Amino acid sequence: MEIIVRPHRYGKTTELIKRASQVKYGLIVCSSKNESFRIWDMISEMMKSGEITQAPPMPITYREFLDREYAGKNITEFFIDNADNLLQSITPVKIGAITLTDDYKIHNVDKYYDEVEPI
């Protein structure tokens, strides 16, 4: 698992789309149906521009993910957009902190913030 850490509107979802498009059947998981349609529009634009050559399937919502409403035998990987929001959606009580094991690749490129304007 890789963890992409960037501020709001600095290309996290775009990066997720790129990664999902590079695997056989990578499924993006997002917060809502509206967000799913927004991401699908992004995928369509990225296909038109040639930024990606293979479109991942239509994204599913956190609820669909938690309820396992997907074709599991075909999926090779999940790509979760804003995982912090997914965790918070599980409970109405504020999550104060989480821990992660140290064997993940964390992509927190500080210089990225200086080089790229928010989307």
| Residue range 33-66, pLDDT digits in tens | 999 999 999 999 999 999 999 999 999 999 999 9
49 by Cβ neighbours in 10 Å (0-12 / 13-18 / 19+) ranks as exposed
Q: Kindly report the average pLDDT of the chain as a whole number.
A: 87
Q: Which residue has the higher pLDDT, 31 or 119?
A: 31
pLDDT tier, 9 (very low <50, low <70, confident <90, very high otherwise): confident
Per the structure block, which two tokens stand in for 39?
């991401």
- Check residue 118 and give its pLDDT: 55
- Check residue 103 and give its pLDDT: 67
Give dist(CA 4, CA 106) in Å, integer.
Answer: 6
Query: Which residue carries 């993940």 as its tokens?
Result: 104
- Check residue 104 and give its pLDDT: 62
CB 20 within 8 A of CB 60: no
CB 18 within 8 A of CB 79: no
Residue 115 has pLDDT above 80, yes or no: no
| Residue range 67-87, pLDDT digits in tens | 999 877 789 999 999 999 999
